[in-house]
Amino acid sequence: MLTTKNSNQLYNRSLNHLVGGVNSPVRAFKSVGGNPLFISHAKGANIYDVDGNEYIDYVLSYGPMIIGHVHPHVQEKVVKTLEKGYSFGATAELEIELAEKVCGAFDGMDKVRFVNSGTEAVMSAIRLARAYTKKNKIVKFAGCYHGHHDALLVAAGSGLATLSMPGSGGVTEGSVQNTLIANYNDISSVEQLIADHDDIAAIFLEPIAGNMGVVIPTDEFIQGLNRIGKEHGVLIVVDEVMTGFRSMFGGAQKLLGLKADITCLGKVVGGGFPVGAYGAREEIMNCVAPLGDMYQAGTLSGNPVAMAGGLATLEVLEKESPYDFFNTYAQNMQEGMLSLANEKGIPLQVNRFGSMINPFFTGQEVKNYEDAKGCDTNKFADFFWKFLEGGLYIPPSQFEAWFLNTQLNDTHLNRTLEAFGKAI
Ligand code: PMP
């Protein structure tokens, strides 16, 4: 049995002044039952709770910690930067360096604007798409999550899927009246919207969906979006907040052959510090103030400490290029899980792309939100607690991706499959 005495004590205390004991809903463990764990520290591929339990960390702060926790290169760069001041409200060289690195990694990204979160990046991209095209409507896909900005909080995955919430209270009809919903991997649903509406500014998508669990786009879907973007003058906004720098140095868009007009980033680009970004070709980005009339600003945007964390993380990724390693590890994990589940006759699908992987408790292929919602979430909840007992920290939801980091090795893989075998 897992010892959780100290976590439980902190949980009870947290409930007094933190809503549900957390600062982000999925952390509450609501859909798996039981109290959340409280973390004391993390190092490399491992994370430790306040009762001294050690886990292999497949949550990785929901994505950012791709080179593991407390990496010496990041630590050094961040501490050195910290000693020179925390925030200036003026541009510092680190912002230019990170911009150069990010723009260099994406085709057609001439300029970038740094913000403080993925939500802010996508929220700004909506405004930019509208300012550039002078059109109002936006298309999103059911099950994709783009942050908690009002206009995209409909049919969203992530915590809303986990908590079975169709949308959010407090979002006015006005805020979502220009949001149209299409089905992932169903290009005809996009074509229908294009035929019915002449005021569409942009189509927003996760290039690999990670917020309904991991769902891979078909080539037909990707090529269809490229075609629609070109033929109808609709911008393709690729939300790479989760996928950016995860499957190659740059975005999943390149591997998929998806042509982005605007790209949104977050998570890895800040290496565990609050950074988001949106970037595009010059003509589009020049609409943003101070060059253009689309206003967007931030007191802490481009914060030097956060820039240092992001830059150091990207430096390590560029140097080590761990992407073949991720593919091999994920493939071994997928094959191992499928064969163990098969032996027990338990229906399982495992979707993966680069360093993102996700077991779904279902016998059907998972290609969209409906398929994902058809999974056995009770079985997942049972499995979740057994996994924790086996020393593996995974997201407390069937609908969140598991992430790999560069500090994993064969020992971690063997421990993972051993725990998986015991759990099922
Ligand atoms: N877009 C995607 C694809 C995401 O996965 C997330 C967060 N999980 C966001 C946007 C929002 O980012 P943040 O939580 O940093 O606001």
pLDDT in tens, 307-319: 999 999 999 999 9
Band of pLDDT at residue 412, cut at 50, 70 and 90: very high
Q: Is the CB of 239 under 6 A from ligand 1?
A: yes
Q: What is the CATH number of the domain that holds 28?
A: 3.90.1150.10
The DSSP output letter for 217 is P
pLDDT tens figures, 261-301:
999 999 999 999 999 999 999 999 999 999 999 999 999 99
- Residue of the CA atom closest to atom 11 of ligand 1: 147
Band of pLDDT at residue 166, cut at 50, 70 and 90: low
- Residue of the CA atom closest to atom 10 of ligand 1: 146
pLDDT tens figures, 103-161:
999 999 999 999 999 999 999 999 999 999 999 999 999 999 999 999 998 887 777 76
Q: Is the CB of 118 under 6 A from ligand 1?
A: yes
The answer on 404 and 312 residing in a single domain is: no
pLDDT tens figures, 200-232:
999 999 999 999 999 999 999 999 999 999 999
Cα three-residue angle 412-253-363, rounded to 5 degrees: 55
Active site residues: 145, 239, 267
Strand ranges in 266-408 using DSSP code E only, listed in sequence order = 276-280, 349-353, 356-360, 392-393, 402-403
- The answer on pLDDT for 12 being more than 90 is yes
The answer on 373 and 262 residing in a single domain is: no
What is the 273 CA–ligand 1 centroid distance (Å)?
14
Q: What's the whole-model pTM score?
A: 0.97
Burial of 192 (0-12, 13-18, 19+ CB in 10 A): middle
What is the 402 CA–ligand 1 centroid distance (Å)?
14
Q: What is the largest CA-CA distance in the chain?
A: 61
Q: Is the CB of 145 under 6 A from ligand 1?
A: yes
pLDDT tens figures, 86-108:
999 999 999 999 999 999 999 99
What is the 146 CA–ligand 1 centroid distance (Å)?
5
Per-residue model confidence (pLDDT) at position 142: 94
Q: Which two tokens stand for residue 141?
A: 């896909």
Q: Is the CB of 206 under 6 A from ligand 1?
A: yes
What is the 78 CA–ligand 1 centroid distance (Å)?
23
Per-residue model confidence (pLDDT) at position 336: 98
What is the 242 CA–ligand 1 centroid distance (Å)?
7
The answer on 382 and 277 residing in a single domain is: no
Q: Which two tokens stand for residue 148?
A: 């908690």
What is the 5 CA–ligand 1 centroid distance (Å)?
32
Nearest ligand 1 atom to the CA of 276 is 15
Q: Which two tokens stand for residue 67?
A: 């080179």
- Residue of the CA atom closest to atom 9 of ligand 1: 147
Looking at 303, 319, 335, the residue that finishes a domain is 319
Substitution candidate for ligand 1 out of 59, 60, 124, 211 with most atoms within 8 A of CB? 211
Nearest ligand 1 atom to the CA of 120 is 16
Measured distance CA(422)–CA(424) in Å, rounded: 6
CB 116 within 8 A of CB 301: yes
Per-residue model confidence (pLDDT) at position 292: 98
Nearest ligand 1 atom to the CA of 206 is 3
Nearest ligand 1 atom to the CA of 240 is 3
> Which residue is associated with the tokens 């010892």?
3
The answer on 313 and 221 residing in a single domain is: yes
Burial 236-270 (b: 16+ CB within 10 A, else e): bbbbbbbbbbbbbbbbbbbbbebbbbbbbbbbbbb
Measured distance CA(408)–CA(402) in Å, rounded: 13
The answer on 417 and 297 residing in a single domain is: no
Q: Which two tokens stand for residue 40?
A: 């004391």
Give the C-alpha distances (Å, rounded to integers) separating 151 from 136, 236, 260. Answer: 11, 17, 20
The whole-number average pLDDT for the span 347-351 is 97
Report the percent of the chain where pLDDT is more than 70: 99
The answer on 113 and 43 residing in a single domain is: no
Contacts of 250 (CB under 8 A, 6+ apart): 105, 106, 107, 244
Helix (H) or strand (E) holding 313: helix 304-320
Per-residue model confidence (pLDDT) at position 1: 81
Measured distance CA(210)–CA(213) in Å, rounded: 5
The answer on 62 and 78 residing in a single domain is: no
Looking at 319, 349, 381, the residue that finishes a domain is 319
Nearest ligand 1 atom to the CA of 119 is 16
The total of structural domains in the chain comes to: 2
- Rounded to a whole number, what is the distance in angstroms from the first to the last CA of the chain? 16
The answer on 398 and 286 residing in a single domain is: no
Q: Is the CB of 158 under 6 A from ligand 1?
A: yes
- Residue of the CA atom closest to atom 5 of ligand 1: 242
Contacts of 34 (CB under 8 A, 6+ apart): 385
| Of 378, 382, 338, 343, residue with least CA distance to 358 | 338
The answer on 134 and 229 residing in a single domain is: yes
Q: What is the CATH number of the domain that holds 154?
A: 3.40.640.10
Q: Is the CB of 146 under 6 A from ligand 1?
A: yes
- Residue of the CA atom closest to atom 7 of ligand 1: 147
CB 111 within 8 A of CB 287: no
Measured distance CA(151)–CA(164) in Å, rounded: 19
The answer on 354 and 266 residing in a single domain is: no
Substitution candidate for ligand 1 out of 124, 146, 160, 263 with most atoms within 8 A of CB? 146
- The answer on pLDDT for 423 being more than 70 is yes
> Which residue is associated with the tokens 């790479």?
240
What is the 422 CA–ligand 1 centroid distance (Å)?
33
Nearest ligand 1 atom to the CA of 147 is 11
- The answer on pLDDT for 38 being more than 70 is yes
As a whole number, the mean pLDDT across the chain is 96
Looking at 319, 343, 360, the residue that finishes a domain is 319
Q: Which two tokens stand for residue 246?
A: 């995860």
Q: Containing domain of residue 108, as a range?
A: 72-319
The whole-number average pLDDT for the span 177-182 is 94
What is the 122 CA–ligand 1 centroid distance (Å)?
8
Q: Is the CB of 250 under 6 A from ligand 1?
A: no
Nearest ligand 1 atom to the CA of 211 is 5
The answer on 285 and 230 residing in a single domain is: yes
The answer on 338 and 314 residing in a single domain is: no
